[in-house]
Chain A
Amino acid sequence: EVQLVESGGGLVQPGGSLRLSCVASGFLLSEYSMNWARQAPGKGLEWVSYSNSGSSVIHYADSVKGRFTISRDNAKNSLYLQMNSLRAEDTAVYYCTRGRPTNYLDYWGQGTLVTVSS
């Protein structure tokens, strides 16, 4: 059974940093592209970042470019999102998702809440 479990969310002050983790099970991370998506409270979905299976192709939404870094450790079957210079508008539930060809997202984690507030 495919599972994605995120962790690392919490309360952080504006300008601070946080690192999210996502542990995958039921499949080999090394064989799939992966994404982070987010959802602000009461709002819609926003794609945040993409990594192909070998980390040779990485993309970011304009809203996080230069502040967030996606990475993976295929040996640990884990995906990460390093978030720096956090802003109030980054407050959201962050989801780890598996990407398929053309990047439809077939599996999602349960999400981890990041709150940026003083």
Chain B
Amino acid sequence: IQLTQSPSSLSASVGDRVTITCRASQDISSYLAWYQQKPGQAPRLLLYTTSTLQSGVPSRFSGSGSGTDFTLTISSLQPEDSATYYCQRLNTYPPWTFGRGTKLEIK
């Protein structure tokens, strides 16, 4: 199963609504997670099972989708959201594939 993220990079302004897409090569139901990674840091879990917010993650982050098409939305972009975002296929069996990432920059 391949995960294709789009766009590969984007630039947006503080306060903007930002959407990142992850498309699976086959139906993965709701088995998708999103991670945020800042330079020099380990990834951080944002959402799992498509839309469940991990504890401590701001509510401006949300996820939606099912089957093959998923989105990560940041409702009001903040300066600290500058990072690379990855989607990951979940399930009880491998491979637990990651998307290639979307680099988000603040204008």
Contact = CB atoms under 8 A, between A and B. Distances in A.
Residue among B42, B45, B90, B100 with most chain A CB within 10 A: B42
Interface residues of B, number: 25
B44 interface: yes
Given A102-B31, A102-B91, A102-B92, A44 B42 contact: no
Given A44-B100, A46-B98, A111-B42, A103 B86 contact: no
Contacts of B96: 35, 47, 50, 103
Contacts of B94: 47, 50, 59, 61
B9 interface: no
Interface string A96-116: 000011111110111100000
6 contacts: A44-B98, A45-B98, A47-B94, A47-B95, A47-B96, A50-B96
A68 interface: no
A95 interface: yes
Interface of B: 31, 33, 35, 37, 42-45, 48-49, 54, 86, 88, 90-101
A23 to B, nearest CB: 15
A75 B100 CA distance: 37
B45 A103 contact: no
Give the interface residue-count category, chain A.
20 to 34
B3 to A, nearest CB: 10
A44 B92 contact: no
A104 B86 contact: no
Residue among A101, A105, A106, A110 with most chain B CB within 10 A: A105
Residue among A44, A103, A109 with most chain B CB within 10 A: A103
A100 to B, nearest CB: 7
B10 to A, nearest CB: 16
A59 B95 CA distance: 8
B97 A47 contact: yes
Interface string A40-58: 0000111100100000000
B98 A47 contact: yes
A78 to B, nearest CB: 18
